[in-house]
A and B are shown apart, each in its own frame.
Chain A
């Protein structure tokens, strides 16, 4: 049973470009979460999604950031017109639909904005 898969592991973008981060949850998991870890800091919640629905996006910046979890395919975190301050590690987690409160994390995508 594969774990949470994130790709790419490392992503380099120039200011103004778009960044797309992908997350495939564990098999059987229908809940996906995105977190951001700034250098030397803990993880901060961004968004919680279920298939085709955004449940809680209270941690998402109001502009340039969006997330989706389509019926088919991975969840995508999209950052438009990236700026240097977006440089961080972005982690995806998933949990099963049973209400079990354990979130299993992927290895993260490290975004560097030049």
Chain B
């Protein structure tokens, strides 16, 4: 069975602070994919990144970076120099075992205060 845990329910930071959103996953499969999605207040889901289980290289995209560590089954997401527009709910998600259904975490609500 697949499971994604986002232990942080809500985080508040002041603008320009760095913030890390934690994600821990569980799967018995050796091939899997990890994702992060952003859900702004308007409600849509925006794809941010996909990582496959064979690629542990960390990734940076502008102010966003992701740290994938198989040893701890974690796929953490860091926003550097946060901005008010980063305020949203962020979901970590998993596809594994050849199945196509995405297993989502419960989300972390990030509030960036000006």
Is B104 part of the binding interface, using a Cβ–Cβ cutoff of 8 Å?
Answer: yes
**CB < 8 Å: which of A89, A93, A103 contacts B43?**
A89
Whole-angstrom distance between the alpha carbons of A33 and B106 in the complex?
19
Is B95 part of the binding interface, using a Cβ–Cβ cutoff of 8 Å?
Answer: yes
A residues contacting the other copy or chain, number (CB 8 A): 26
Q: For residue B107, which residues in chain A have a CB less than 8 angstroms away from its CB?
A: 42
Is A110 part of the binding interface, using a Cβ–Cβ cutoff of 8 Å?
Answer: yes
Is A56 part of the binding interface, using a Cβ–Cβ cutoff of 8 Å?
Answer: yes
For chain A, residues 22 to 70, give those with C-beta under 8 angstroms from any C-beta of chain B. 31, 33, 35, 41-45, 48, 55-56, 58-59
**CB < 8 Å: which of A42, A59, A102 contacts B101?**
A59
**CB < 8 Å: which of A56, A59, A91 contacts B45?**
A91
**CB < 8 Å: which of B33, B43, B47, B100 contacts A48?**
B100
CB distance B50 to A101 under 8 Å? yes
CB distance A41 to B102 under 8 Å? no
A-B contact pairs, 16 of them (CB 8 A): A42-B105, A45-B102, A45-B103, A59-B101, A89-B43, A91-B45, A95-B100, A101-B50, A101-B52, A101-B100, A102-B35, A103-B102, A105-B37, A105-B45, A107-B43, A108-B44
Q: Which residue of B lies closest to A6 (CB)?
A: B44
**CB < 8 Å: which of B33, B37, B95, B100 contacts A31?**
B100
CB distance A43 to B91 under 8 Å? yes
Q: Which chain A residues have a beta carbon within 8 Å of chain B's beta carbons?
A: 31, 33, 35, 41-45, 48, 55-56, 58-59, 89, 91, 93, 95, 101-108, 110
Interface-centre pick from B35, B99, B102 (highest chain A CB count, 10 A): B102
Give the distance to chain A from B5, nearest Cβ to Cβ, in Å. Answer: 11
Give the distance to chain B from A14, nearest Cβ to Cβ, in Å. Answer: 23
Whole-angstrom distance between the alpha carbons of A28 and B112 in the complex?
37
Q: For residue A89, which residues in chain B have a CB less than 8 angstroms away from its CB?
A: 43
For chain B, residues 59 to 102, give those with C-beta under 8 angstroms from any C-beta of chain A. 91, 95, 99-102
